[in-house]
Amino acid sequence: MDFKLTEEHIMIRDAARDFANSELLPGVIERDDKQEFPTEQIKKMGELGFLGMMASPEYGGGGMDTVSYVLAMEEISKIDASASVVMSVNNSLVCWGLDTFGSPEQKEKYLTKLTTGESIGAFCLSEPEAGSDATSQKTTAIDHGDHYILNGTKNWITNGNTADFYLVIAQTDREKKHKGINAFIVEKTWEGFEIGPKENKLGIRGSDTHSLIFNDVKVPKENRIGEDGFGFKFAMKTLAGGRIGIAAQALGIAGGAYELALKYSKERKAFGTEICNHQAIAFKLADMHVSIEAARMLVMKAAVDKDNKENYDLSGAMAKLYASKVAMDVSVEAVQVHGGNGFVKDYHVERMMRDAKITQIYEGTSEIQKIVISRSIING
């Protein structure tokens, strides 16, 4: 497979790298410490076109391919995984989902604001008892003719408070199980919609994660996405693409930690020489480099599959499973290379190690990716 980047790809990657270094790096430690959302930075990302990269230009999107998107995700994630999760959810789940399955009216009303960053989106599937087991939705949306009445609670919602528009998955007919699930666009300001307290997280602390409570929220019928009963497929199809974005995020965290470890090992001296001259460190760097390059191949393969309109359920799950393990392993080793300095905040790698963990959990845990992969290889 040819992964040769075009001039445009390189331009996008470099623009994302420059932005990350000039706008995200200053203050990233403080934002993590204070759990502060990167409001100004996300606004600028919207202005630069990083929030609706793959969406149709007709609705304000960049009309770019998935390869461009993963390159930008990787660069942003090398510096600030809290900013890149906002980017990932807005691009892969919200904008892509609406662009692909929304009605022209929904796109006009919502997508045009989401692609430019004027508004931020959230994707609401997980519940207290339906995280991995996504068919067990307890949130209900009862049909009342021209509208639905939405009730229930969603958990661990990225952009929980900063979002303006929420794609909410709910059960409309329990008898029909997953075929009785629908997806709705819900506005923050609607009566009965309450935002729960912010989660105090191990990593990606600059992003805001909340539970959401819906108490008799009236949702107009025109805000249902697709045909009646399409909601579960909508969620699965959207998440399949989302996993490529998170795989790119994991690749970026690994790459960022590796670059810092390499630089540090060339500067820090012990036993009379720079520590990169000791095999104990050099072999770690070799292992990190190889695993990152292997993860990159899987991420690119999944992105190219999506761009070529081939099935990417398997390649996306493989990319996410492997890249997230690499992010975890490499960031732990990067802390080790830094020794005592790795354990303090100023050197960034301890944050990257904490941020890496979520890539093995959200948008389907590693165990969920193994379900998708094993089913695909067994059933074809």
Residues that bind ligand CAA in the complex, under the rule CB under 6 A? 89, 123, 125-126, 132, 134-135, 158, 178, 232-233, 236-237, 239-240, 313, 362-364, 368, 371-372
Exposure string for 144-180, b = 16+ CB within 10 A, e = fewer: eeebbbbbbbbbbbbbbbbbbbbbbbbbbbeeeebeb
Three-state DSSP class for 134?
Answer: coil
DSSP 261-280: HHHHHHH-EETTEEGGGSHH
Tell me how far, at minimum, the Cβ of 240 lies from ligand CAA, in Å: 4
Tokens of 58: 């007709």
Q: Which of 252, 193, 182, 255 is nearest to 222 (CA)?
A: 182
Our CB check for ligand CAA shows the closer of 224 and 338 to be 224
CA 48 to CA 116: how far, in whole Å? 8
At 150, is the secondary structure helix, strand, or coil? strand
Q: Of 75, 333, 350, 363, which residue is the catalytic one?
A: 363
Residue among 53 and 335 whose Cβ is closer to ligand CAA: 53
Least CB distance to ligand CAA at residue 354 (A):
16
**Closest to ligand CAA by CB, 198 or 233:** 233
Nearer to ligand CAA, 212 or 285 (CB): 212
Residue 186 burial (C-beta neighbours within 10 Å; 0-12, 13-18, 19+) = buried
Active site residue 363: yes
Whose Cβ is closer to ligand CAA: residue 301's or residue 338's?
Answer: 301
Minimum gap (Å) between residue 102 Cβ and ligand CAA: 17
Alpha carbon 292 to its chain's center? 19
Beta carbons within 10 angstroms of residue 14's beta carbon: 12
DSSP letters along 37-61, please?
--HHHHHHHHHTT-SSTTS-GGGT-
In the complex, least distance from residue 255 CB atom to ligand CAA, rounded to whole angstroms:
20
Q: Strand 121-124 vs strand 269-270: parallel, antiparallel, or unpaired?
A: unpaired
> Under a CB-based contact definition with an 8 Å cutoff, are residues 324 and 247 in contact?
yes
DSSP 61-105: -----HHHHHHHHHHHHHH-HHHHHHHHIIIIIIIHHHHHHS-HH
Least distance CB 232 / ligand CAA (angstroms) = 5
The residue (of 182 and 265) whose beta carbon lies closer to ligand CAA is 182
Q: CB 370 → ligand CAA: shortest distance, Å?
A: 10
Judged by CB, which is closer to ligand CAA: 233, or 278? Answer: 233
Q: Which of 221, 187, 219 is nearest to 109 (CA)?
A: 187
To ligand CAA, the closest distance from the beta carbon of 165 in angstroms equals 14
User: Shortest approach of ligand CAA to residue 139 CB, angstroms?
Assistant: 13
How large is the greatest C-alpha to C-alpha distance in the chain, in angstroms?
78
Polymer length in residues for the chain:
380
**Residue 133 DSSP symbol:** -
Residue of 2, 3, 18, 5 lying closest to 50 (CA atoms) = 18
> What residues are annotated to the active site?
363
